[in-house]
A and B are shown apart, each in its own frame.
Chain A
Amino acid sequence: MYSDDVFIVSYPKSGNTWSRFLIGNLLHPQEPANFANINRIIPDPEALSVRQLSHLARPRILKSHQYFDPRYQRVIYIVRDPRDVALSQYHFQIKRRVIANGHPVEQFVDRFITGATGIYGSWGENVGSWIATRHASSDFLLVRYEDLITDAIHEMERIAHFLGIAATRQIIAQAVERSSATQMRKLETDQSRMWSTTKDTRQDIPFVRAAAAGGWKSELSEKSVLQIENAWAPLMKWLGYDLLMPARESGELAAAVAMLGAFPK
């Protein structure tokens, strides 16, 4: 690893691929990002050999789902409402044939909370470990998926600034346009067999899904929602996600709230 490496980190299903497209299109206006070249433009180090990694042009922009790793010096962390992450991961695991059509969502959420549905810790462990260790650092940029949805241009300006790129408004607008859900869906239709992440998965379910925030409100049961909120209320509130559960209930997690002192504001 080099000190000028930049890592685009997120828990899985939190908009990492979209962010890769956005940043790829920002850095390489001459080569529009697609599913056939994204692994080369912004590689996932776990998918590359040590030799391939050492041949990348610097500064390297790398993708990762890892929780806190002290070796990552510069980090753009994408965070997404865990209620939407759970839902997205549920659909993705059906696509990947990990679970079957009609698998009970509530059962999935039970396991999602403990981190048993993946290999990168639980959502709270992954997000919490980065925020608690690096939030105050000037080498850490926190980007909410929801803010990217609402105002991609503004978030891209923050990202460009973090990367030290003097990007014109026009380049940013072009990058956003080239990474729109519509554009990515079009590319996926043509290229899903060319991308390692999707080639061996069910082709009847898309990788680029709703590309929206708040799907949990209609698709998760109240029980699942409260379960997720109970697990991570302080962290969710700190991130600005409104909770469904009554305030006094979340207040019972006094110890957890006290822990938030560890997060520099």
Chain B
Amino acid sequence: MIYGLKFVMKYAFGLDQAGRNFAVFPDDTFVVSYPRSGNTWTRFLIANLVYPNEDVTFANIEKLIPDTSSISSRSLRRTPRPRFIKTHEYFDHRYRKVIYVVRDPRDVVLSHYDFQRKYRQIDDQYPFENYVDDFVKGNLISKGWGTWGENVASWISTRGNSPDFLLLHYEDMIGDTFRELGRIAQFLGIKASLSLLETAVSRSTADRMRELEKMQSADWVATKKHRKDIPFVRSARSGGWREQLSENSIAKIESAWGELMTTLGYQLASAKLVGAR
């Protein structure tokens, strides 16, 4: 009852979080990923591609490509169409056009750990091995979006073959940003010149985003209230797990999602596990 009233009041004053409760339009494009999988980078790339006359920064990214978990349903309703909307939601049948960014879960867990420390959701002493258990079992604060495997599988199994679904690998984006942005442009039906693609890539590099974060972390909803000693833009590379994850952690993740990882092209490191299955 109290919860219901609070929700109605928040909604009436435009203070709610849109979440899964907002009107979807047929011309919406959704930029979807599990958290810490390159979503913000992808938003910068797309914003720089679609709005070449805007100076895309952390100060205006929420306006250009709003996030369902920070914008109110009212503001979302008022966002000019066609809208680009960022979300971490698991499968939602109303989303017609979806760009899904997937990242190796062994790297995601490392990034997610730093991120939750930054957000003061766990402290620096929280044992990483325990965190891997939480990550695999879905005991994270972000569990409303499902586990990594649930989030990814819910989209791929339902939309994997749809022409309105574009699957991007974070690792491919790191490997050849230019080519992957070209795929995005084609998916969006944007005739992008080479120079436009190049400009968009150069305006969205990790170095530039780090510079922007230094200047604007107090202006961005995702960073303003959180620890400043841990950056939001982290290593911006793939494969960090090879040095940073213990064999035990790798085995836990691979035994949870081995088949899905293999389907996605992520080679498993725990050979004995493959034999066991």
Contacts and interface: CB of A to CB of B under 8 A. Distances in A.
Interface in A103-158: 115, 120-122, 124-125, 128-129, 131-134
Given A261-B260, A262-B263, A132 B153 contact: yes
B260 A125 contact: no
> How big is chain A's contact interface, by range?
20 to 34
B91 A129 contact: yes
Contact of A261 (B3, B91, B259): B259
A128 B259 contact: no
A230 to B, nearest CB: 11
A135 to B, nearest CB: 9
A128 B157 contact: yes
B93 A259 contact: no
Contacts of B154: 68, 129, 132-133
Interface in A31-53: 50-51
A71 B158 contact: no
Interface string A41-85: 000000000110000000000000001111100000000000000
A195 interface: no
A132 B262 contact: no
Interface stretch (B142-150, B187-195, B199-207): B142-150
A244 interface: no
Given A70-B144, A71-B144, A255-B161, A262 B156 contact: yes
The SS class assigned to the A binding surface is helix
A70 B91 CA distance: 10
Contacts of B90: 68-70
B240 interface: no
Interface in B233-277: 259-260, 262-263
A125 B263 contact: no
A247 interface: no
Interface residues of B, number: 26
B4 interface: yes
Contacts of B3: 50
A51 B143 CA distance: 24
B19 interface: no
Contacts of A98: none
Contacts of A259: 156-157, 160-161, 263
A131 B161 contact: no
Contacts of A125: 91, 93, 158-159
Interface string A227-265: 000000000000000000000000001011011011110
Most buried by B among A51, A115, A125, A132: A132
Contacts of A131: 157
Interface in B96-153: 138, 143-147, 149-150, 153
Interface in B154-191: 154, 156-161
Contacts of B262: 261
Nearest to B146: A70
B150 A67 contact: no
10 contacts: A50-B3, A67-B93, A70-B145, A121-B158, A129-B91, A131-B157, A133-B150, A133-B153, A256-B160, A262-B157
Interface of A: 50-51, 67-71, 115, 120-122, 124-125, 128-129, 131-134, 253, 255-256, 258-259, 261-264
